A and B are shown apart, each in its own frame.
Chain A
Amino acid sequence: MADDETTGTSAEDAALNTALAAEHAAVWGYGAVGAALGADGRAAAAAAEAGHREVRDRLITLLDGRGAEPVLPEAGYELPFPVLSPVDAAALAVVLEEGVTAAWVRVLGQAAERTTRALAVEVLGPAEVRAVGWREAAGRTPVTSALPGLPAT
């Protein structure tokens, strides 16, 4: 639980900043994904990266407009595992999309504004669709998720 002063839009802004941190990580991570893929897969990675850049920029604009300081990207990131093959790259993309999805589902749980929930819903669908494709490329089963972004019970 957070402190008692974290209420309403401040909780929403904190969740949005957490989503922004995840989007920063995704933008960075897709560079590594694309580098390990062939030409066909690289196009998918580039499209995904572009999607995350767009969401990142919308989040920065939104938080700036509210007077909340948007979180910056980290100075450096380390890969969770070596990304040496297309399968590794797809597995990393799954990590990125699932991380972003968890952050956006949290936004839904914390949001005070309907427009914020609308943004979260708009982002979540494409993220899960991308995750389905990457899970398949990574050889994961099942490739779909019943409750993306929510912890298993």
Chain B
Amino acid sequence: MSPTTRPGPRTLTRRTLLAVSAAGLAAAAAGCTSSPPVDERDTVTSAQADELAAQVGVQETLVRAYETAFDADPALAAAAGVLATQAGEQLDRLRAAAPGSSPSAAPPADAPPPGEGQAWLRAQVAAAASSHAAAALGQSGARAALLGSIAAGLRGHEARLA
């Protein structure tokens, strides 16, 4: 570690490291950010609302993809069931962030080829992650944080399915 001129040790506890953002993060997750009463970051435009609703649809499609892949490959269901559960949790959070949205979830565009369910599912996960990541750029405040978190979580799923 490079020496610095700043005095005082810093305890690298889990609490310390996570505390660097915990307060603001909790506020962001609650849709309450650290600014004046009306924060532009949490003022949603109609375009942002539409895009968030679209991401609900993207996630619904992904949840269906998990079901489709598991139907085709029961062994995959046993190995990757927790990923499907987490995809469902992500969908719940997206729906909560976009109340009143009624997206039209499209079924997966194709079905997994025989014996290639895991690779097919991984591609579906990667596509959803990319979609959420791109959508995060056009959002702000808690919605951007949520989409970015989900995209990162899905990158972890993608790695797990490699």
Contacts and interface: CB of A to CB of B under 8 A. Distances in A.
A117 B36 CA distance: 21
Interface in B111-161: 129, 133, 136-142, 144-153, 155-160
Contacts of B133: 121, 125
Contacts of B61: none
Interface string A92-128: 0001101101111110111110100110110011111
Interface string B5-16: 111111111111
Interface residues of B, number: 66
Interface residues of A, number: 66
A145 B35 contact: no
Contact of B149 (A79, A105, A111, A129): A105
Contacts, number: 224
B149 A144 contact: no
B34 A146 contact: no
Contact of A129 (B26, B89, B137, B159): B159
Interface stretch (A14-22, A35-43, A57-65): A14-22
Interface string A51-79: 00000000000000000000011111111
A149 B156 contact: no
A77 B142 CA distance: 31
A84 interface: no
Interface of A: 1-2, 4, 6-8, 11, 15, 18-19, 21-22, 25, 27-29, 31, 72-80, 95-96, 98-99, 101-106, 108-112, 114, 117-118, 120-121, 124-129, 131-133, 142-151, 153
